Amino acid sequence: MTSGERRLSERLEQKLEDDYLCWYDVPLGPQQRQPDFVVFHPARGFVVLEVKDWKLDSIRSIDRASVELLTALGIKRVSNPMSQARVYALEVVDALERDPALRNPVDTPYAGRLIMPYGFGVVLSSITRKQFEATDLGQVLEPHKVICQDEMTDSADAEDFQSRIWGMFSHVFACKLSLPQIERVRWHLFPELRVSSGQGQFGLFDGPGHKTLEIPDLIKVMDIQQEMLARSLGDGHRVIHGVAGSGKTMILGYRCLYLARALRKPILVLCFNVTLAARLRELLAERGAAEQVSVCSFHEWCRDMLRTYHANIPRNSGGYAAYTAELVAQTIASVERGQIPRGQYGAVMIDEGHDFEPEWFQLVVQMVDPNSNSVLVLYDDAQSIYKQEKQRKFSFASVGIQAQGRTTILKLNYRNTLEILSVAKAFADELLNPQESDDDGAPIVAPESAGRRGPLPELVQCKDDWAEARFIVERIRDEVAQGRALSDIAVLVQHMSDHRPLITRLEECGIPYLCADSQSRKRALFESAPSVKIVTVYSSKGLEFGATFIPRLDAYGVTHDKIDADARLLYVGMTRATQRLVMLHQAEGGMVGRVRESINGVSDALAA
């Protein structure tokens, strides 16, 4: 920011109330123009502001189209900022007026025109009103559309400051934009905030070649908190505690694409789950970020580092847990002795931070370039399915993440219907009891529903594995008959050895499927032709499916020591379903009673 821009942004923050929205230097509308500031208020409209730090004696000449400036490098000709601001404002009007929901209705006096007033103006941050009036600048910069240096001081009266801004409007009339209308305004102005509803896309905006041509009736756009997080490029470490389905991965995807344009050094995205890493890698590649952004599971990354820097790669002979522990130990040792260089990445982002061990954080934090020091950790304690209770208590500072004061909590779940979320919440009630935590711990946050409605989750009893398989396949056929894509359907199993009858039945019915039963199949889960996905609940973490089946509920939580761990696992499984959730069991016991109670409780509460 120039010093004038900084002062103006401080004044906007101080002198405007909380229901104003202000954007600084953000590309705007279909032409992606970049005005200095856009100020928006739901009951007043919007204004575009250009800020100039020019001193009076640096303006050699000015007319309605351009300005000649005396600079250290000689004379420079630039556009007249007022005409620039006007062009930007008219482009915004043009984009918004195309949307019938933002136009005055046909039988009203201003039929077809924008439902809110607008204005544009110039901020001369180094010229006082007196200086301005002593010149003929007012002939080309209308005086009421200019804010001068002495009108934007710290001590300026808030009411005066606001009336200067709104005095820039040519026409003022009453408007009161509803929340959906405000969202539509943001949808048009900032296409990158659009949440696309493609399957398993984490809401990332459309890739190239999939531009939205028609304006949908129901639009989906990041909420303001998500937008602020996605755009906050600032240096330093940042932690987002977000409930299941609150858009953490979507924000991460957005920041990757944003940072890929802004940074020279590569960006590293790490998660725990191989399947999630593969899906995210694919989506970012479709959006042209493959070269600059590497997405891997943590262990894949360790292996890559050891291979790239010719360090010793352990053999995978003594079991997977021993192998991965050795992989991590070797990577830490290689970094310590300088064989793997530190500071390789312009930014490091960690999805599923709740499944990371403290020493993993310590290792990864060293990988970020100290000049940008940009580290983002996404975390949801309720989904931590690989850790023991005692391991969960740690502070971010103790693992090298300095995020005090830069921690955000996202409570709103957008993924699940109210019915699915309510059942998952009732089921996992004990895990979600909010607990006090200081700014640097990992708070437990209970999700709140964004309110989308759908069918109540189902609990179905079948007599054996074959009956379960027949039932699931029948329901898959129903879903497909109703238009659901195969890849939007998943069966979440407890162990990969559990699904033989299901596969046999799918094959008998000619339904394509893919099992994530090896590392390579996990990586390729979404790459091939459309197919039903069979994944463990573990591997489903981070993903989402329109229709989700969870068989053998009676096999979860059967021993006392597994109850909490399995409850977490099932909470993760249930919150994968965006529309339909069907759970099955053969016997009573395990988690069956708890799920039944949760469904009945929610059913009664919603009926009341």
Ligand X SMILES: Nc1ncnc2c1ncn2[C@@H]1O[C@H](COP(=O)(O)OP(=O)(O)OP(=O)(O)O)[C@@H](O)[C@H]1O
Question: Which parts of this chain interact with ligand X (CB under 6 A)?
Answer: 195, 202-203, 220, 222-223, 226, 242, 244-250, 380, 383, 414-415, 542, 544, 575
- Which residue lies nearer to ligand X by CB, 101 or 332? 101
CB of 208 to ligand X, least distance (A): 19
CB of 246 to ligand X, least distance (A): 4
**Phi, psi (5° rounding) for residue 268?**
-110, 125
- Which residue lies nearer to ligand X by CB, 314 or 546? 546
Closest CA to 62 of 45, 84, 42: 84
Contact 579, 547 (CB under 8 A): yes
**What is the C-alpha to C-alpha distance for residues 360 and 355, in angstroms, rounded to an integer?**
10
CB of 187 to ligand X, least distance (A): 11
CA dihedral over 384, 387, 391, 396, signed as positive or negative: negative
- Which residue lies nearer to ligand X by CB, 54 or 545? 545
CB of 280 to ligand X, least distance (A): 10
- Which residue lies nearer to ligand X by CB, 52 or 248? 248
Strands 412-413 and 374-379: unpaired
DSSP calls for 90-134: HHHHHHHHTSGGGB--TTSTTTTSBSS-EEEEEEETTS-HHHHHT
- Which residue lies nearer to ligand X by CB, 351 or 479? 351
CA 223 to chain centre: 9
- Which residue lies nearer to ligand X by CB, 273 or 294? 273
- Which residue lies nearer to ligand X by CB, 15 or 415? 415
CB of 257 to ligand X, least distance (A): 14
CB of 143 to ligand X, least distance (A): 42
Joined together, the tokens standing for residue 519 give 């590392």
CB of 375 to ligand X, least distance (A): 18
CB of 416 to ligand X, least distance (A): 9
Opening angle at CA 6, ends 5 and 9, nearest 5? 85
**What is the C-alpha to C-alpha distance for residues 210 and 283, in angstroms, rounded to an integer?**
13
Which residue in the shown chain puts its C-beta closest to ligand X?
203
Q: Strand runs (DSSP E) across 324-379, as ranges?
A: 347-350, 374-379
- Which residue lies nearer to ligand X by CB, 78 or 485? 485
**What is the C-alpha to C-alpha distance for residues 373 and 178, in angstroms, rounded to an integer?**
39
Burial of 461 (0-12, 13-18, 19+ CB in 10 A): middle
- Which residue lies nearer to ligand X by CB, 124 or 382? 382
CB of 222 to ligand X, least distance (A): 5
**What is the C-alpha to C-alpha distance for residues 235 and 244, in angstroms, rounded to an integer?**
26
**What is the C-alpha to C-alpha distance for residues 344 and 366, in angstroms, rounded to an integer?**
9
**What is the C-alpha to C-alpha distance for residues 381 and 376, in angstroms, rounded to an integer?**
16
| Overall size of the chain counted in residues | 608
- Which residue lies nearer to ligand X by CB, 141 or 420? 420
Residues 6+ apart with CB under 8 A from 38: 22, 23, 26, 28, 46, 47, 48, 49, 92, 189
CB of 558 to ligand X, least distance (A): 26
